[in-house]
Amino acid sequence: MTTSTTSDVITVLTAEQLFCVIKRFPRVWFSLISTNPYVCYEVPVPSEAVSFDHDNGWPTICARTDIEQFVAVSCDRYQCKVDFYDNDIVNLEATPLTNGDNEYPNISISVTQYF
C-alpha cells in the first residue's frame, strides 16, 4: 500500500534559488495587489520568458510578456510558501524580502502544477 503525504512549508530562498525552482514550471505568475482601491493584476508568462539578471546590484527575476510588457522583481531573498504532494512542489508563492523586512507586501511570484 502506497501512502501519499501533503505538507506546507514556509522558507526563505535567495533570488537565484527561486529562479531555479520557477523555471521548472510551465508558467509563472507575477502578481501586484493594490489595496486602495482593491485591484489584483496578474501577469502569467511562460517560464521560457523568465530570466535572471542583476539590476543596479540587485538580483532580478524578470520576463517579457506576450503583449510586449516587461515585468520584474528586484530582491535578494523571498519568503516562500511551498505546498508539497509527496516530494513534488504543487504550489509555490514567493513574496520579496529585503534585509528581513517585507518592503514589497503587494508583489508576489507564484507557480502551480494546476492551471
Mean pLDDT for the stretch of residues 7-32: 93
Q: What is the pTM of this model?
A: 0.83
pLDDT digits (tens, 9 = 90+) for 55-107: 778 899 999 877 777 888 888 899 999 999 888 899 999 999 865 445 555 78
CATH of the domain at 63: 3.40.1570
- Calculate what percentage of the chain has a pLDDT beyond 90: 43
For residue 10, being part of any structural domain is answered with yes
Which pLDDT score is estimated for 25?
A: 93
The DSSP code sequence of 10-53 is EEEEEHHHHHHHHTTSSEEEEEEEEETTEEEEEEEEEGGGEEEE
Which pLDDT score is estimated for 103?
A: 52
Mean pLDDT for the stretch of residues 36-44: 80
For residue 24, being part of any structural domain is answered with yes
What is the span of the domain harbouring residue 35?
6-112
For residue 1, being part of any structural domain is answered with no
Instruction: Provide the 8-state DSSP code for 87.
Output: T
